[in-house]
Amino acid sequence: AVKAGKRGTFQFYDRQMSAGLEERRQLEADLRRAIEREELELHYQPSVVLKTGEIAGFEALARWRHPVRGNVPPSLFISIAEECGLIHAIGEWSLTEACRQAATWPERLKIAVNLSPVQFAGPDLVGMVRGVLARTGLPAHRLELEITEQMLLDSGEATLATLRDLKALGLHVAMDDFGTGYSSLNYLRSFPFDRIKVDRSFVTGLGTGAPNTAIVRAVIDIARVLGMRTTAEGIETAEQHQVLALLGCDEVQGYLFSRPVPAEEARALIARWCAENRKAKTLAA
């Protein structure tokens, strides 16, 4: 179960959540039917290897096309799902859908899926993930689970044990939105993350002389020392890209490369990348 006080704090930070109580109740009722009515869909945003420009994989991001309201942002419907417990069903649906999709891609591509902190509090997260991997046939090493610091707020031994059990399945875990929590550095010390995703708020303003550059450099250096990889989120300009290259960031993600796109478009992106790669190899031969 999720603590009300904690959730209240979380709500406070999100502008999208200013929807009235009545509206949230209505959305909750609609969301209960959204999976079976096939109103939920995953979009996929590529993550690019900074040094080579190759696609490393994609992050799955949930979309809800409401029959009357149109697109409802995930910041709103995920928080509603977390409050009413629907996140367990939605989380399993997302993971299944994402793994099934990724299993059809070239083997070198990974898939990243966001996990809600509430899923950690639920029953048998590890069993659920193991089951999804078995059903979809996706090799565990191609899956990366993204977890925000929110989860770690009341991180006890149980959370740490769950993280270790997840990693024992052979998958990878990333700390998402790094830098936005209260105690990011402390968590890095005690949790076995494979990757740090530097929050978009630090990427914005890179190269403009703001202290952001120094902060991102420090994060990348810390990650290297700890043996973790780094991804920068929300790259929108060539300048941000250049600065991140100088700082030695491993992967980049953002509108500069691609917005999150439906599965068919992700497939087209992959096909184009494969064709370009073949061409390059032929030229080199």
Name the residues that contact Mg ion, by CB under 5 A.
114, 146, 176-177, 233
**What are residue 230's DSSP bridge partners?**
196
Count of C-beta atoms within a 10 Å radius of residue 275: 10
CA Rg value for the chain: 19
Which positions touch ligand C2E (CB under 6 A)? 45, 61-62, 73-75, 78, 91, 94, 114-116, 146, 176-177, 200, 233-236, 253-255, 260
Q: Supply 182's token pair.
A: 């209260």
DSSP label of 137: T
User: Closer to ligand C2E at the Cβ: 94 or 101?
Assistant: 94
> Which is nearest to 34 in space by CA: 79, 93, 75, 102?
93
Q: How far is the CB of 173 from Mg ion (least distance, A)?
A: 12
Q: Give Cα separations from 147 to 29, 96, 225 (angstroms).
A: 27, 17, 21
DSSP label of 266: H
> Which is nearest to 150 in space by CA: 187, 113, 123?
187
Q: How far is the CB of 228 from ligand C2E (least distance, A)?
A: 17
Q: What distance in Å separates the CA atoms of residue 67 and residue 69, rounded to the nearest whole number?
A: 6
User: Closer to Mg ion at the Cβ: 30 or 178?
Assistant: 178
User: Closer to Mg ion at the Cβ: 30 or 60?
Assistant: 60
Q: How far is the CB of 126 from ligand C2E (least distance, A)?
A: 16
* HSE-up of residue 56 (Cα within 13 Å, Cβ side): 18
Q: How far is the CB of 280 from ligand C2E (least distance, A)?
A: 26
User: Closer to ligand C2E at the Cβ: 269 or 277?
Assistant: 269
User: Closer to Mg ion at the Cβ: 233 or 250?
Assistant: 233
DSSP label of 258: -
Which option in ligand C2E, Mg ion, none does residue 73 bind, with CB closer than 5 to 8 A by kind? Answer: ligand C2E
What is the rounded end-to-end Cα distance, in angstroms, of the chain?
59
Q: What is the largest CA-CA distance in the chain?
A: 65
Which option in ligand C2E, Mg ion, none does residue 116 bind, with CB closer than 5 to 8 A by kind? Answer: ligand C2E
Which option in Mg ion, ligand C2E, none does residue 7 bind, with CB closer than 5 to 8 A by kind? Answer: none
Which option in Mg ion, ligand C2E, none does residue 205 bind, with CB closer than 5 to 8 A by kind? Answer: none
Which option in Mg ion, ligand C2E, none does residue 92 bind, with CB closer than 5 to 8 A by kind? Answer: none
Q: Give Cα separations from 104 to 114, 135, 136, 231 (angstroms).
A: 20, 14, 10, 24
Which option in Mg ion, ligand C2E, none does residue 236 bind, with CB closer than 5 to 8 A by kind? Answer: ligand C2E
Q: How far is the CB of 167 from ligand C2E (least distance, A)?
A: 19
196 contacts 174 by C-beta, under 8 angstroms: yes
Q: Which residue is nearest to ligand C2E (CB)?
A: 254
Q: How far is the CB of 136 from ligand C2E (least distance, A)?
A: 16
70, amino acid identity = G
Bridge-based pairing of strands 55-66 and 40-49 is antiparallel
User: Closer to Mg ion at the Cβ: 177 or 250?
Assistant: 177
User: Closer to ligand C2E at the Cβ: 255 or 278?
Assistant: 255
User: Closer to Mg ion at the Cβ: 114 or 116?
Assistant: 114
Which option in ligand C2E, Mg ion, none does residue 62 bind, with CB closer than 5 to 8 A by kind? Answer: ligand C2E
